[in-house]
Each structure stands twice: as C-alpha cells, then as structure tokens.
Structure 1
Amino acid sequence: METEIPAMLNTRPDLYGEEFTFHSSRMRMQSVTQEELEQMDEQSKHCATLLSDARCDVLAYACLIGIMAQGPGYHEESEAALHQQTVENGGDAPVVTSAGALVRAIKRLEADKIALIAPYVEELTQTMIDYFESAGVDVIDYETLECPDNLEVAQLDQRNLVNIAADLDTDAADALVLSSCVQMPSLNSIQAAEDTLGLPVFSAATATTYEILDNLGLSTQVPGAGRLLSGGLNEGH
C-alpha cells in the first residue's frame, strides 16, 4: 500500500494537476496469523482517530486479510465503525477497507467468477475464499504462496505473477485478482497480465485506489493500471 497507492496517485498531476499528501498510522503485525490479525484489527479505531487529527479527506484500512479474518461481511462493520471514530474526533472522513474495495470492484466489473493469487498460508487463503463466496463471488481457481512473514510478502518478485496467472484456469473466469493482498507487489504486472489473459486484472491496491479517488470525487483513471482504473467504469457505482 505504502508504495503502490502513492505510485498510482502520483501519476495524476500530469493528467489532472492534482497533488496528494499521504498520512499513515500503523497497526502492529509481524506474522500473518489469525491471532496476530485479530490483535492488529483491535488497533484500528485508535489509528482512525490519530489520522483524523490530520483532517484527511479519506482513510484507507490497508490490510485485506485483517478484515476478512474477522468473518464474512466484516468490511461493512469496520468501515462504519472507523468512520464514526473520525466523526467523533471532529474530522469526518469516509473510510475504505481494501477488503470492501476488492469485493465492490468485483461487482463493478460484473465478475461473478474470479481466479486469484494470494501470498497467505492455505488456511488464511481459504478464509478469504469463504469471504468472497459469502459475498456471492465464485473463486474458480487460485494459487497461494504460503508466505507467513509480513516483510517477506512485500519482497516477493511481482515479475513471477504473470507466469503464475498463466498456470491458473481462467477460461471460465470473469476477472483475475493478481494480488489479493496490498502488501504483495503487483502494480507493474497488472497491465501485462491483463493484455496476456484478455480479461480484467486488478488487485487489492488498485481496488483501494479506485475507491480513494471515487470518495474524493475525482476521476478514477490511472494510466497502465488495468481496466478497473481505465476511467471507463461508472463512477460511484
């Protein structure tokens, strides 16, 4: 998130003359386990309050599995609770979770069936698949990379993703989630994968960027970041 989302937003000054500032408050997590994810999520309200001190225009909760590990539909509960924190602190701002953004992106693309790549251990990937299926999305094929160390996830070589995607069964898929984790890099491979596979390819980071821009009332266009950010989808869908 801290590399890819700024990278996408920073492509826009040449197109739209916009400038963005970025503020962050970190929830602690080292190993991507159910226990640590629960402990991390407990810190989210405090972080939302800290960020609303800066009177940010939009807040993004950047851990997809941190939300999904709490049970189906939790993104709606989290987004509402964190928004309320900003209201109570006098810094009313919309809140986007990467989990909610990804679910809504799938619906924007009218993708009932998806394939995906995840960095998690198998158990957490199954938790994520259950979360999608509870939202009416059928995961027809997936690859999980079994990488539990949070810092290692950030160092995974995204150039491998196109080859991994090519090995997935995408014939019946409506879209491919190239990285279901904002920590796992994929931005520089999304357009290449989309061009190769001929179906929409996106990630937790591109979905979050779409909703950040949408909540700011701005065009959702980012060059070379796949169909979701092509600017051709209905704004505010």
Structure 2
Amino acid sequence: MNAPGRQLPYRIGQIVPSSNVTMETEIPALFRARERVAPERFTFHSSRMRMKQVRPEELAAMDDEAGRCAAELSDARVDVLGYACLVAVMSQGHGHHRTAQRELAEVTRHNGAPAPVVTSAGALVGALHTLGARRIALVAPYVRPLTETVVDYLRQEGIETSDFTALEIPDNLRVAAHDPALLPSIVRGLDHRGADAVVLSACVQLPSLAYVQAVEDELGKPVLSAAVATAHHLMRALDLPAVAPGAGHLLSGAYADAPVTN
C-alpha cells in the first residue's frame, strides 16, 4: 500500500460485469468529490466479466472469471481492487464476500503485486454495521427471488430488512437505464418507519448517486447505496479518510476513519 500524501495518483481497480456501465461513473464521481476536499488523486482501471442477464446461472459463470480480472488488474499494479457486483457474490452463499476477498487478494500476491480487495457485497455489510444499522429498508433492481437472496444474506450478517422493493429487471443494461429520479417515490412507498437506514440501491448497476443526499435529507436518516458503501471501503482500504461531500452520512466525514469491517 502506498503512503498517504504521495505525489502519484492512487490506482483504483474495478472488476465489473461486462454489461455494467454505472460503477465506472459513480465510483469515480465519489472519488472526484473527495478530491475537492483532500489532496490525493486517483485513476481508474477496469477488467470485465461476461454477464448480460442478472440470473443465477450467468452470475455463477461470471464469478468464475473474477480471478482472471484480478490478475489483469494486478498487472497494472493497482493499489486496491473493487469487485463490483453485489448479487454475484451474495448468490454464491452466506459469507462468500470474505472468501472472494481472500481468494482475489491471493491472486494479486501470486502475481507479485499484492493489493487489498473490496467487494461491493462486503462493503454494504460493513457499511451498515459502521452506521449501526440493525434494520433497513431496501431497493433492488433484481427479480424477487434474487432480491430475497440479498435480504437473507444481510439477515445472516445481523441486518434485518423491514421492507424492500424488487424492480424485477433481469436485463443488466435495462437496470442501468432505470431513471434514478424515480427512486425517491419508490422509497416513499416503503415501510421505513422502523429502519435505521435506507439502501437506495442494493446494486452497483442501478444508478442512484444523484439522489442519495436528497433522499437522506427528506427522511432524516442515513441513506446509502452499494456504490457509496464500496467507495467508503475502497478509501479505507487505502488507509485514507473516507469522505465525499454530498453523498450521504456514511461519507460525510463522520466515519472517515472507521475501520473496515465485514
């Protein structure tokens, strides 16, 4: 890992589904927000796993490609890797984010370029624990059975879901095309009265960043997304304060130095 305050930019590696077009916009946007208030600079580098339809068989086949992607990114000597597909990890069974992080980090070590690995699945779990959220409301674009897989995964990590919406969009490009301006009204339709936090997008392909702060201001409780959680964990994995103004309570600075837990 590189020392904070260095002159060269940090290299952020992302392992993304081939049809994902959101993480390569939202993660850089969050780091650019950080650049406005901190001296460090960043570049972004991706490797892709084939996937078009968000279905169990395609998710499993895609997950098998993650090791190749980790090796390719470590060839570029990235400083941290983010595995940017939450449901692909969660659908492989409880606790798989820990296995994926360990195995992909081992790939980078074997390639002579060791780097920490963050998964969006583990980041969401860890971020909710960081916020002290024991009960949440959640929006996901997946078909209902996959959304229930996410809800069950979180339950086994000690996080209950009071209510959720499954948008029933299996085509991954259609997920990216979903209008984020619809999210505030979708959240208003959820029962979030007893929730400690709201997950505006439990998917790194569903655009939501433009509305995280607005929905949080409306509800008066923490609002985050899988992308916001991933950015927080990527920053902390680099041993940098995790902050991005305008992206909700998690990146407000209140948890800038929180340890990564998942």
Shorter-chain TM-score above 0.5: yes
Aligned length: 237
Inter-partner Cα distance in structure 2 for 1:8 and 1:110: 22
How much is the aligned-residue C-alpha RMSD, in angstroms?
0.8
Inter-partner Cα distance in structure 2 for 1:13 and 1:144: 34
Q: Which residue type is aligned with residue 175 of structure 2?
A: V
Is 1:11 the counterpart of 2:33? The answer is yes
Structure 2 residue aligned with 1:138: 160
Equivalent position SS for 1:56? coil
Inter-partner Cα distance in structure 2 for 1:90 and 1:113: 41
Equivalent position SS for 2:139? strand
Checking the alignment, whether the CA contact within 8 Å between 1:58 and 1:216 is kept in structure 2 is yes
Structure 1 residue aligned with 2:258: 235
TM-score by length of 1: 0.98
Checking the alignment, whether the CA contact within 8 Å between 2:130 and 2:258 is kept in structure 1 is no
Give 1:11 deviation, angstroms. 1.9
Structure 1 residue aligned with 2:20: none
Q: Which residue type is aligned with residue 201 of structure 1?
A: V
Structure 1 residue aligned with 2:234: 212
TM-score by length of 2: 0.89
Moved over 4 A (4+): none
Inter-partner Cα distance in structure 2 for 1:209 and 1:3: 12
Structure 2 residue aligned with 1:45: 67
Checking the alignment, whether the CA contact within 8 Å between 1:166 and 1:197 is kept in structure 2 is no
Q: Which residue type is aligned with residue 236 of structure 1?
A: P
Residue deviations 1:129-178, cap 9 Å, x none? Answer: 11011111101100110000000101111011011111111110000000
Residue deviations 1:58-106, cap 9 Å, x none? Answer: 0000000000010111000000000000000001000000000000001
Q: Which residue type is aligned with residue 150 of structure 1?
A: N
Give 1:199 deviation, angstroms. 0.7
Checking the alignment, whether the CA contact within 8 Å between 1:165 and 1:178 is kept in structure 2 is yes
Structure 1 residue aligned with 2:151: 129
Inter-partner Cα distance in structure 2 for 1:63 and 1:14: 27
Checking the alignment, whether the CA contact within 8 Å between 2:91 and 2:149 is kept in structure 1 is yes
State the identity %. 52
| Paired residues for 1:76-91 under 5 Å | 76-91=98-113
Structure 1's unaligned 5+ residue stretches are none
Residue deviations 1:21-76, cap 9 Å, x none? Answer: 11100000000000000000000011101100011000000000000010111000
More strand by share: 2
Q: Which residue type is aligned with residue 186 of structure 1?
A: S
Structure 1 residue aligned with 2:133: 111
Structure 2 residue aligned with 1:99: 121
